[in-house]
Structure 1
Amino acid sequence: MSDELFVVTVTYSPGPHLDRFLASLAHATERPVTVIMADNGSVDGSVEEAVDRYQNARLLRTGGNLGYGSAINRAVAEYGLPAATDMFIVANPDVQWGPGSIDQLLEAAGRWPRAGALGPLIRDPDGTVYPSARHLPSIIRGGMHAVVGPVWPSNPWTAVYRQEREDPSERAVGWLSGSCLLLRSAAFTEISGFDERYFMYMEDVDLGDRLGRAGWQNVYVPSAEVLHDKGHSTGRDPARNLAAHHESTYTFLADRYPRRWQAPLRWAFRGALGARSRLVVRSSLRARRKEGQS
């Protein structure tokens, strides 16, 4: 196999973020890079401009808004990545790459031969570290984070789940943010890629969980850094996105407790998440109305 590295990103009218994504790649690795833009229906002209400006950019039109995981799967299949490369990257187009960040991830992959996914330290635009390496959501830890998090952000269950009190160190974790991942082709193939039932949100939690169940590791690599302007997509329709997040959370939890005798637990998940969804959606709508009046 060649040294060529494939980076897959899902685009949906990404605006100027895409240019910063592509321009900063030159600082992230010394290897030749091909960027596959799995486009879910952009109308802002940014993907066409990227193809004209960057010789290493390839445009794959998915034919509609398939969602994140489905678009990644489509690109991986269309370009035959598992056969073409041992490792490939998936990343959001609003990521900006830190110097040597991809090379750091690749070096860590050599240290962790059972790593199916490796993720960098992610900073928000204000420079703070985003808790991108987390435990898997258990009934107590994840449930309490989901239910009390909106009204008590500093609660201890959220802190443990998000590993907020952990020092940045290279380690195996439950799951990693899907905004930027180095994936091992063999692992991705073994678990059949992303679960396409998740249109948005929780597809990365599900991926990390299924990798772990298959005997692979999710490894946090804080020596690699990227910046993620995650508000560019969620800000378009926050109420709809919040509702989708809760629906995806229910799908994830219901999958983990599928037996007939566990039905009351699934009902409890549905009721608690439904109440939380209504609370945060109403709060979001009120905030947007206030912004419109100011």
Structure 2
Amino acid sequence: ANLVATIGPSGGEFVLLTNPDVVWGPGSIDALLEAAYRWPRAGTFGPLIRDPDGALYPSARHLPSLVRGGMHAVVGFVWKNNPWTKSYRQQHLEPSERPVGWLSGSCLLVRREVFDAVGGFDERFFLYMEDVDFCDRVGRAGWLNVYVPTSEILHDKGHSTGREPARNLRAHHDSTYIYLADRHPGWWQAPLRWTMRGALRVRARAAVRRSRRERARSARSGGKA
């Protein structure tokens, strides 16, 4: 669950959403607030995120299209450098302050008027895609989502999502399908939706079986299951 804080006078001009395991870099909150005043038409602001080993996490991304988002979800776990994932994550771009499709919900500064206007997060999404859905609705309401790499945090994604990869992958696929089906409801898109849903289910079942085999091997060898 995210921690929520309000910042500013009169009950808070901004809402700060952050995971409890986030480690803030010096001046990171101030950098987000300064960006908010530079971008009066922006509704959300997200920092640069690093993994515990110092690697840059791609937290500022394109919104997922039916093809790009679906292919990333289906093959991204086994084919890390596939073209759909690279395009989706914008990994070819150097960190710079700019509008993006969506920002990681592990740490997000939001104008309170924007948060209230779009209705916050959609509870249909579990563990994944709630930030994508939220930022998309912010954009549809006429606001920008701005990446602010001068603000930097450290975040252990594995700690936040737990240590059950099979369950997490299934949740990721379910949330991905909900998001894409919401945005692409047309009858002419139905065959692609059905194909994607079938592929996601097959991928999730395969991950569950693999996770069970790995746990069984670990138990037999005397390791922790």
Q: What's the TM-score, normalizing by structure 1? A: 0.69
Rounded to whole Å, the distance in 1 between the matches of 2:216 and 2:29 is 41
Question: Does 2:68 correspond to 1:141?
Answer: yes
How many pairs are equivalent? Answer: 220
Corresponding position: 1:191 with 2:118:
yes
In the TM superposition, 1:43-122 aligns within 5 A as 84-122=11-49
Q: Give the corresponding residue for 1:233.
A: 160
In structure 1, the partner of 2:172 is 245
Matches of 2:181 and 2:106, distance apart in 1: 24
For 1:1-294, what aligned pairs fall within 5 Å after superposition?
9-10=2-3, 84-292=11-219, 293=221, 294=223
Pair 1:286–1:94, CA change in 2 (3 A): farther
Q: Deviations over 1:162-209 (max 9, x none)?
A: 111110000100000100000111111111111121132110010111
Q: 1:276, CA displacement in angstroms? A: 1.9
SS of residue matched to 1:144: helix
Secondary structure of the residue aligned to 1:196 is: coil
Query: Structure 2: any 5+ residue segments left out of the alignment?
Result: none
CA contact (8 A) 1:82 1:189 kept: no
CA shift at 1:83, angstroms?
6.7
User: Aligned-pair RMSD on alpha carbons?
Assistant: 2.2
More moved, 225-234 vs 106-115: 225-234
Tell me the amino acid that sits aligned with residue 18 of structure 2: A
What secondary structure sits across from 1:84 in the alignment? coil
How far the C-alpha of 1:291 sits from its partner, in A, is 4.1
CA change 1:263–1:101 in 2 (3 A) is same
Question: Runs in 1 of length 4+ with deviation above 6 angstroms?
Answer: none
- The verdict on how the C-alpha distance between 1:97 and 1:272 changes in structure 2, with shifts beyond 3 A counting, is same
Long gaps (5+) in structure 1: 1-7, 11-34, 37-75
User: Is the Cα contact below 8 Å between 2:127 and 2:161 reproduced in 1?
Assistant: no
- Amino acid of the residue matched to residue 185 of structure 2? P
**Counterparts in 2 of 1:154 and 1:213: CA distance versus 1, 3 Å:** same
Are the equivalent residues in 2 in contact too, given 1:150–1:280 (CA < 8 A)? no
TM-score normalised over the length of structure 2: 0.89
